[in-house]
Chain A
């Protein structure tokens, strides 16, 4: 799964297969964080409006 694991082979198959996996996981993590950060700022702005 990672280059530091003993049975890792640096060939095209590993790069394509694992690369696709990491790309998908990365996209999901980015999408979730993007939504979470925007929601946090929305919440922060509304809280600020109420306090004023």
Chain B
């Protein structure tokens, strides 16, 4: 039925089966839509956010998703600026993933601010001294960049490409892509970093507060590095999930190996700096404000296990796997490393946002625990289902995997 829209030389599942798949994804997606309507219609008291936890699952997920979406800017950086030619075979898919990650980040912020009708105030009445303003500006601009990077893929659809203007427009966009990618890299560096800077300028919260270089706390640089380290792993992970559902190989293993190796080195560099930062904070900074490091891990569930899991299990283990050529080429181990790396970034962002708020800062403060309710979970996970739908449609109708024909001859 839709065979005219499917790229030439590739095979896709029957249209009916595709509709069933999209229909299945619609069910949890609609639950998410209901959660959005509940939060917008009845206000944020429908969630478990409160005065102790104004930042909860939404912000932690936002920070995590933006880090995972870093694969798009970093792959584009490697492809168009460092000129690693093999990455042209995965950069399109990294862009699709990036579009959905940033759409999710903006969508989650739209519900988190509670008053979406006043969302434009951050632009109109910009507080130029706030890192969050910089983040809002950069995310919005970078999402535009990602849409521009996605546009030539849409224009290369078999039917659209028959028309002269879209074909020529896509061609010229490809030519301009290095310049557009460079703008994207500039924007990404700043918003990834500023997200790290937001908790670390809070000198009233010594758990997150850090010194730094000029106006940038050390976590500014740690967040950039960690996004660069985990983004490619997320791209690999989603590529492998897509391959599993498509039941065929879509990208050559040497392309995946390049990304995994670069990710491993960056993760190693990040871990060294993170460990130095943590030791420096625990030995010097935290005691200097009258709070020994142990006091921050005194309340369950945020015990010492959090630090050990984040740096050790979700950091050092994937780093060793990604740096070892033999381990990296073992596919189950590679997937495990990517999973641990991505989980590590989520845990790091949760710690920097939610655990920072959890730690009592006054002697009369009490520790309160926080767990998200159904509305927060459903509205956050809604973006997973929507991303799956968009990726499914993109994979079916757009030429996002240039090596597919070669790897799967008809």
Contacts and interface: CB of A to CB of B under 8 A. Distances in A.
Interface of A: 1, 5, 7, 13-14, 17-18, 21, 24-25, 27-28, 31-32, 34-36, 38-40, 42-43, 46-47
A27 B178 CA distance: 13
Nearest to B141: A24
Given A13-B129, A21-B141, A32-B148, A39 B168 contact: yes
B128 A28 contact: no
B183 A43 contact: no
A28 B141 contact: yes
Contacts of A24: 141, 183, 186-187
B125 interface: yes
Contacts of B169: 35-36, 39
23 contacts: A1-B124, A1-B125, A5-B124, A17-B126, A21-B137, A21-B141, A24-B187, A25-B141, A27-B179, A27-B183, A28-B144, A28-B148, A34-B172, A34-B176, A35-B175, A35-B176, A39-B165, A39-B166, A39-B169, A42-B172, A43-B164, A46-B164, A47-B164
A7 B148 CA distance: 32
Nearest to A6: B125
Interface string B158-173: 0000001110110111
Given A21-B137, A39-B169, A42-B164, A28 B125 contact: no
Interface of B: 123-126, 128-129, 133-134, 137, 141, 144-145, 148, 164-166, 168-169, 171-173, 175-176, 179-180, 183, 186-187
Contacts of A36: 169, 172
Contact of A38 (B148, B172, B183): B172
A-B pairs, 4 with minimum CB distance:
A39-B169, A35-B172, A39-B168, A17-B128
Contacts of A14: 128
A31 B169 CA distance: 11
A18 B172 contact: no
B183 A7 contact: no
Given A27-B179, A31-B179, A42-B164, 11 more contacts: A1-B125, A1-B126, A13-B129, A17-B128, A27-B183, A35-B173, A36-B169, A36-B172, A38-B168, A43-B165, A43-B168
A10 B176 CA distance: 35
